[in-house]
Amino acid sequence: MDTKKIIKECLFKAVRSSGAGGQHVNKVSSKVELNFNVIDSEGISENEKNILKQKLKLTKEGFLILQCSETRSQHKNKEIVTKRFLTLLKNNLIIPKKRIVGKIPHKVIRKRLEQKNKQALKKNNRKKPNID
């Protein structure tokens, strides 16, 4: 994964934010929308593309769309959405290691059986004695 190539392939679009905010919201396009074409990307290998197709929710054309309208500044929103995009890619490309099942140590088995025998003796001692 080549991050510089990937960032160059991103399409940024400034859109007007929704919601409350008065005149500022109506005049300024501070919301930033990031569009990234996963299928046609040259910064991602074919294997990584297949992983991302399975894990991420993409559009029919293969675009990943992220939006940010946290701050009133377009530049800060662009930084935030870019960081979010890169961490999203990195986190989804991590392949978890397969767990290798280890052998149970003899000491652990012995300890469990001893505890079991202690418990059984305790229960047996609570019973009424058998007088015959």
Burial environment of residue 51 by CB neighbours within 10 A (0 to 12, 13 to 18, 19 or more) = middle
> pLDDT of 41-58, one tens digit each?
888 888 888 888 888 888
Domain assignments of the chain as residue spans, ordered by start: 3-93
* CA contacts within 13 A on the Cβ side of 125: 6
| 68: number of Cβ within 10 Å | 22
| 12: number of Cβ within 10 Å | 14
- Reading the block at residue 126, the tokens are 């609570």
Cα separation, 124 vs 127, whole angstroms: 6
What is the structure's pLDDT at 20? Answer: 67
Residue with token string 């080549």: 2
Q: Quickly list DSSP for 19-38.
A: SS-THHHHH---EEEEEEES
Helix/strand/coil for 82? helix
- Reading the block at residue 40, the tokens are 């046609």
What is the structure's pLDDT at 21? Answer: 65
Q: List the pLDDT tens digit at each of the 132 positions of the chain.
A: 778 888 888 889 888 877 666 676 667 788 899 999 888 888 888 888 888 888 888 888 888 899 888 888 889 999 999 999 999 989 988 888 899 999 999 999 999 999 999 999 999 999 888 887
CATH architecture of 3-93: 2-Layer Sandwich (3.30)
